[in-house]
Amino acid sequence: MTSTPPRRYRLGVLHGDGIGPEIVPSAVAIVDAALAASGAAPAEWVELPLGASAIATHGAPTPDSTLEALAGLDAWLLGPHDSASYPEPHRSQLNPSGTIRKHFGLYANIRPAKAFPGGNAIVENTDLVIVRENTEGFYADRNTHAGTGEFMPTPDVAIAMGIITRAATERIARTAFELAEARSKKLTIVHKANVLKLTTGLFRTVCREVAADHPDVTVDDFHIDAMTMKLVRKADEFDVIVTENMFGDILSDLAGEVAGSLGIAPSVNSSDSHAMAQAAHGSAPDIAGQDLANPIAMILSSAMLLEWLAVRNDDPRLRDAGGRIERGVTTTVSGGTSTPDLGGSASTTEFTTAVVAAVTAAAKAA
């Protein structure tokens, strides 16, 4: 692989709520197996308090000590949170993932949707990536310096601000075009410029301007409503999709189901200096503690995190480890082992064991 001594990375572990304490350890176990198979140094895992348990022990779902510790790590894995169940005042405050994104300026939310053979996909050959701007748009928690962008001038009137800036749009557009360059050189801009002419109109315009620096990438654009229809039937015709915050959230959930299940939808939130692996789905409190959760989204999010670290640190061992994780998951699902949401009967633990075995077996056969 390489003669350079392997670097050891310090990775944060934030279990979160609901199924988080089940799927995050699953990802950790599989990352450990993939690092060993790739000849990389074992990760140093640093567990930090977050979520409902942190309220009990530290008085806040995202303690200041957790944020301070994250700043000193190479990257981290975040489990889902169930902020709707938190006691007040925590329920009404910025949730843990939002707090971390805002604190570290994680402006890019990269959300792939890829179908697995035998994985219950609606559109079998789906293989796309949604690049979601993560700091502004129409979500109130992300578009003001302090407080939120929602307010009520009277008890019967509620107002939300939607903010689009040239600087943030250029930044996310460049991220999307660089990704398209590395994939199929095809990019789709999603907006609603026929109605939201100034805000999403600016988003579309700036993305088109950035396209001039990438002449080998084919570019088209669709309104958000038309895009939802196209994804349901023709998801396999798209590759990289770039859009603003709320549209990206909606489309990525849809794309995850089209690819087979929201349980297989991974994501990474990143800036130029920090990155966080986070499954696109929620905490699923209805099945928490039952060993039923699908850990694929968290596992693949971790693989994406290794890829981000590999690029940032020019570390081919990590890139190899990320690839081994993806292949291990694909081999496991296509071989007939999957959790109930994909039509199988495997528990979270059984699926994790099967992927670890697939990663290890592939290394021995090489």
CB 109 within 8 A of CB 304: no
For the chain, the straight-line distance linking the first and the last C-alpha, in angstroms and rounded, comes to: 12
Catalytic residue, chosen from 64, 225, 272, 314, is: 225
Q: Which of 213, 236, 288, 240 has its CA nearest to residue 115?
A: 236
Strand ranges (E), 233-323 = 240-243, 268-270, 275-278
Nearest residue to 118 (alpha-carbon basis) of 325, 305, 335: 335
Catalytic residue among 139, 221, 320, 341: 139
Catalytic pick from 74, 82, 221, 249? 249
Q: Is there a catalytic annotation at residue 192?
A: yes
Active site residue 253: yes
* Residue 127 bears catalytic tag: no
Select which of 74, 82, 114, 192 is catalytic.
192
Q: In a 3-state reduction of DSSP, which class is residue 27?
A: helix
Torsion of CA 248, 79, 281, 316, to 10 degrees: 60
For residue 110, list its beta bridge partners: 131, 268
Which among 221, 253, 315, 320 is annotated as catalytic? 253
Is 139 a residue of the active site?
Answer: yes
Amino acid 128 reads L
Tell me how many helices (H) and strands (E) the chain has: 11, 12
- Amino acid occupying residue 71: A
Catalytic residues: 139, 192, 225, 249, 253
